Each structure stands twice: as C-alpha cells, then as structure tokens.
Chain A
Amino acid sequence: MSQVNLFTKRINKALSNNQLQTSFRSAMSYLMEGRLKRFPDYDKLQLSRTKSNSIRANSVSNLGDLLVTLENNLTKNGVKVHWAETATQANEIIHSVLKKANAKTVVKGKSMVSEEIELNEYLIDNGIDILETDLGEFLIQLDDDKPSHIVMPAIHKNKFEIARSFADNFPDLEYTEDVDKLTQQARLVLRDKFSHADAGISGVNFAVAETGTLCLVENEGNGRMSTTVPNLHIAVTGIEKVVEKLENIPPLFDILPKSATGQECTTYFNMISGPRKDNEKDGPTEVHLVLLDNGRSRVSRDTSLNDILNCIRCGSCINHCPVYVKLGGHAYGTVYPGPVGIVFESLTQGLDKAGALTSACTMCGACAQVCPVKIPLPTLINRLRNESIEGVDSDSVLGKGSLKKPIESSIWKGWRFIYSNPLVYLLFVKTMTRMRLLVPTNIGKWSKYRNTPKPSKRSIEEIARSEGFINE
C-alpha cells in the first residue's frame, strides 16, 4: 500500500475513536492553558523567542565547528565520543559499548532519539534487557506500544487501561486505579532496577561545546538515576543539539519547560561534564556520547529548510495543532508527530517515505506562533508539499516529486491552457455557466464532507459588464 493510503487508513481509524479524541482534546487544552499562563507578557515572550532562535540558529549554521569543539572538550573531560551516520550504526555502537563492559541490564531515561533509531528493539534482539524508566515510557513499554507525543508519551492511555496493564504485568501488586498509588507502585518496581542495572542510557537536551557538558531536563529523577547509579552511562543525541556556550543554556532552559508543559522550570536540570573522578564516590566510571546524524547533516545544507534543526523538542507545536488534536500521535505513523514531525520526518526519511504527512496541515499558523525557537513550520510544510510534487533543485530533499499524480498534473495543465488562451477561456466559461445543472452532486471525496460547488448562472465577467464595468 502506498504511504498515502496507509496514512489515510490510520487517519480514518483515529477519527472513528471517540475516546481517543476526548483524551487528546483535554490533554492539549491542559498543555495550551499551562503554557499561556507562563507567558503573561507578550513582548517579553517575543524577546525570549528571538533570543532562543538566535542561539539555536547560530548552532545550526556552525554545526561542524561546534561539534569538533564539543568532541575535544568532552574527550578532555574523559567522555568517549562516537559518531553515527545512520540508526544502524548508532545501535551497533551502543551495543558494542555495552558488550565490552559486559552490561546485560540497562535502565533508560526518556530519549526521542533512541525511539528514532529503535534502540530498544535492537538491544532486546541482541539479548540485552533494556527498561524504560520515565513513567510514561515505562507504561508504553509494558504494553509494547509506541509514544503518541514527544513530551507526554502515554497521553493516549487512561488510568483504567494503565491499572489493567499493571495488574497483568505485576500480579503481586494490589490492583488500583488511583494515580498516586499507581505512581508509587512504579517507583517500587523501578527502584530495584536502578540499583541493579549495569548501564544507563539517556538522551541529551543540550550539549555545550565550550565546556563539554551534556544537559538533561526532567521532572521524575529517572534521568538522574539512569545517569548516576550504574557504572556505565551512554548518552545518545542528534548532532543538532549542540550549543556554543554555557551562557546559551539559561535562556533555553527558561523557555523550554514553559513552552512544553507550562512549568516555570522542571524539577531537575542535570549537567554532566564527565565520568566519576578518582576521589569521587558515585557517578558512572565510564561515559559515552553517541552523536547521530541520520539525515540531519544533509538537511543542514539547505539554509531555508535547516530551521527545523533549531528544534528543542518542546512539543508546543504539537499541542497547538488542530490536526494533531483530532488524530493523536499514532496516526502519523512516525516517531515525531505533529508539525515538527511532518517536517522532520519527511526531510530525514525522504518525501517518498513520509511526504504524505505534509497533507496533515491546515496552514493555520498556530505552530509557528508558539514555537519557542521561531521555526516557520507552515512555510516549511508548504515548501515540502511543493517539493513532493514539483521537486526543485535541492540535494537536501529526498524523494522529490514522489507524490506527483498524473491526473492532478493534467488537470492543472488543462487549467493553465484555458486560462492562458482568451478565446478558449470564453468558450469554457460559457459552457460551464450554461451547462451548470449537469455538474454532478457527488464528486467523490470532495463532496463527502462538503457541498459540491455549482458554477453560477453568469460568469464574473458577465456580472461585471451588467453592473456597468467596462474594461475591468
């Protein structure tokens, strides 16, 4: 089945699920209201968006230099840096580091990049016991499910489903539908895992080139556990996450939680600049960073598309998207859903694989208004729509023209012919207005949700002339 048909199928499935839509509607309203409360002063918000944008844009246009500086400083600090061009390479690197350390059990903090490379599947296939420890991700893993939101992965589940899944997976625990109790049960199960795991894997929110520092943002403490308790810590991140200076961090950490969940700041901001020193008594003795490209360097070369690499993964564009709220995250069929997902996935995977997503946009512009780093998402989506049909000359885009349909192209060609030949045009208009009753009322998909348009009795030109306009 083509990507378009598959996408349509997933859309229909989502649209027929009322419970899902209720969950998403209430979750998105909660997140939108939360965000709004944090930005009472419009001018101040614009100032911090501009600031954040310039920090991220500076990173993206200097990625090469910054990555080399980051590598040098991390190496100086005792962190081993690895480079992966593809998801497979990243998985292989992580597996080999684990193997070398003889690590069999792994606790993992939340990381969208690890979802992108499907790390869990890879490691499990290779006999490694890897456990998600962020509560939302843990719930997802229990059900062998996929995240439906980049910040709140289990947003599509209600507490009854979660209670049932706990009962199935942990028959020894008392059955409960109380959120506090469920949370405490998860604490109990996971604490034991933290204390015994051989290795911890995490993502990275920002990597500071100047000091060789990996920053992690979180509320639960599972990120700190995963990066502090086991002897081995492996961080994995996209190459775009680097920033130049330590002083760039406070403005980004200021705007990220406010935009993401409407929090003034998150509970923990964890800055890791190296493994345990000789005289220190805890912390991993070995720290690795895997830098993943997976299409990002290709995207970086197109200066009108590389804005997408500014993204700090706050999820705000998703929360404000009128299409996402109806569909939920799974309908996209990709790791990153919503506006950021449309752009990121069709660029990294290629339009021939994920270009169908570009149709899931109403061009309302809400995403661009809330994006903390000012990514012009609708403009990028529009450009990608165009690329998927016409395909202009940019080697940053894969699968150009792959969604071109012969019928559609012929219709537009005919249209152009009619409109560029005055006589043909007059004839066309005459025919359409006189034969208007012959236009069928059922014109396929269009009339499924809308009224069929009927040509008017008289053409606009005829109306104008009768109103007394001569040469308009």
Chain B
Amino acid sequence: MNSSRDNILNNLLKHSIENKPSKVVEKESHNPLSSKKKIESLKNMLESVRAEVHLLTSNSLNEWINSELPKRNLSRLLIGNDTIQSNLGLTFSDDFDVTFYTENIEKWKDKLFNEIDVGITTTTGAIARTGSLVLWPNSEEPRLISLVPDVHIAIVKVDEIYETFSEIVEKQNWSENMPTNALLISGPSKTADIEQVLAYGVHGPKELIVLIVS
C-alpha cells in the first residue's frame, strides 16, 4: 500500500453527518419551457456569445452547407466518416476536399492542424437555458473535430434540446454510462485575459456555427 495514501486518509476528518448536514439537494421547480421557447433560448444564448445559429430542415441542411461554405471560402472539410455523412443526408459537391477521421491522430496530426478549415459534428443534445451543445466524442466522431479546425459546425436535432444541464444528465442517464470524454460547448473559443477585452478564437475554433435541424 502506498504510504502517502494511507497517511492522507488517516489524517482526514473521520466521521461525517453530525458535523455538516448533507442535505438532499432539492430540484428547482419552474415552469418548463415549450419546445418553441427552448429553440429560441438556445439560439439567443448562443448568439449572445457570437455563435452563428440557423434553423433548417433535414432537406435544407445539405443545401445550406453546399452553398454557404464556398461563399466563406471554406472548402477543406473534416467529418467523422461516411456513415455520419450519409445519416445526415449530406452529399458534398466536388469543390470540397473532404477528410474522414478514420485514422488515429498520430498518423495525420500535421494535416489536422494545418490543412482543415471546418470540422462538422453531430451533438448528443443541447441545453436551452445556457446555450450549450453537448458532445460525446467517440470512435466515429473523435474529440478533435470540434477543437482543432478554425470553424466548427455542430448539428443539433430539434427534439434533443433540453432545458437545463441537470435535465440532460438525468434524462440521458449519464451517471450510468459516462463516455471517456463528454463536452459542453457554448460558443467559439474566447479569452478576456488582456485588459478584460473579449477576444475570440484564441485556441479552439474561431467560429461556431450551429445548425438546428427539424
């Protein structure tokens, strides 16, 4: 046995309960938001931190991506794999240079850091009150798609918008099946470390585009 471990554990306060009441945390009660209000709140919150939000249908999603990205000079796309792509109903025109994240990062780190403009990911939900996207990266959609490229496009299904963080944790039963990495993303990367002046795009994506699909 590690002796530091034993020393620390032995040194700690021995008992509990009598000292500090460990009250059961009661759930906050409020009027739940309608689904229209949830979309509205998600959109407003995200826009307030300079994310771009669009409401689309599964048909217009493909059109939006194919017509908007060239306008912004974004052609080098990264997406998990072809299944993710086809599940989203996406077909990219030949003007795009599409990369699938099918190889381990070690094999293509330089390309990821230097030759990709946009990462496209799905989400496992969103949180209306705080304007947060929830991502559970996995083998099909690895962690770095939403972090390294300058632009992150996240696709949210309209019926997966929850009201609060607590609600999504409970309804999706997170405590039973936490993934290796779970993320809440609420806007593009930012900092206020120089004279409290807000500056966007410090280490993560400079732009976050959220496409809410019904």
Contacts and interface: CB of A to CB of B under 8 A. Distances in A.
Contact of A61 (B17, B45, B179): B17
Interface in A208-261: 210-213, 219-222, 224-225, 228-229, 231, 239, 245-251, 253-254, 261
Interface string A59-94: 011111101100000000100000111000100000
A85 to B, nearest CB: 5
A306 B13 contact: yes
Given A134-B193, A228-B143, A282-B142, A250 B186 contact: no
B201 interface: yes
Interface residues of B, number: 76
B198 to A, nearest CB: 9
Main secondary structure of the interface of B (DSSP, over half): loop
Contacts of A51: 25-26
Contact of B113 (A153, A195, A248, A271): A195
Contact of B183 (A248, A271, A280, A300): A271
A68 B143 contact: no
A61 B103 contact: no
Given A47-B28, A246-B175, A162 B194 contact: yes
B4 A27 contact: no
Please indicate which of the listed interface residues B4, B23, B193 has the most CB atoms of chain A within 10 Å of its own CB. Answer: B193
B4 to A, nearest CB: 4
A250 B12 contact: no
A297 interface: yes
A62 B22 contact: yes
B123 to A, nearest CB: 14
Contacts of A129: none
A265 interface: yes
A191 B113 contact: yes
Interface string B41-82: 000010011000000000000000000000000000000000
A265 B4 contact: no
Contacts, number: 252
Contact of A152 (B26, B178, B193, B199): B193
Nearest to A55: B25
Interface in B158-203: 164-166, 169-170, 174-175, 178-197, 199, 201-203
B169 A283 contact: no
Interface in A28-73: 30, 47, 51, 54-55, 57-58, 60-65, 67-68
Contact of A225 (B16, B192, B203): B203
A310 to B, nearest CB: 9
B142 A280 contact: yes
B73 to A, nearest CB: 18
A264 B28 CA distance: 18
A150 interface: no
B175 A63 contact: no
Contact of B9 (A68, A221, A222, A282): A68
B205 to A, nearest CB: 8
A221 B202 contact: yes
B201 A249 contact: no
Interface in B102-156: 102-106, 109-110, 113, 130-132, 137-139, 142-144, 147
A274 interface: yes
Contact of A158 (B21, B195, B202): B195
A275 B189 CA distance: 24
Contacts of B113: 191, 194-195
Contact of A85 (B8, B178, B193): B8
B182 A229 contact: no
B11 interface: yes
Given A62-B16, A267-B189, A159 B194 contact: yes
Interface string B197-214: 101011111000000000
A118 interface: no
Question: Can you list the 4 inter-chain pairs with the closest CB atoms, starting with the nearest?
Answer: A221-B204, A136-B193, A297-B11, A58-B22
Given A224-B147, A246-B174, 17 more contacts: A57-B21, A60-B20, A85-B4, A85-B8, A89-B4, A154-B194, A195-B113, A221-B202, A221-B204, A246-B169, A246-B175, A264-B45, A265-B186, A270-B181, A281-B101, A281-B142, A303-B19
5 contacts: A62-B22, A187-B201, A221-B204, A246-B169, A254-B165
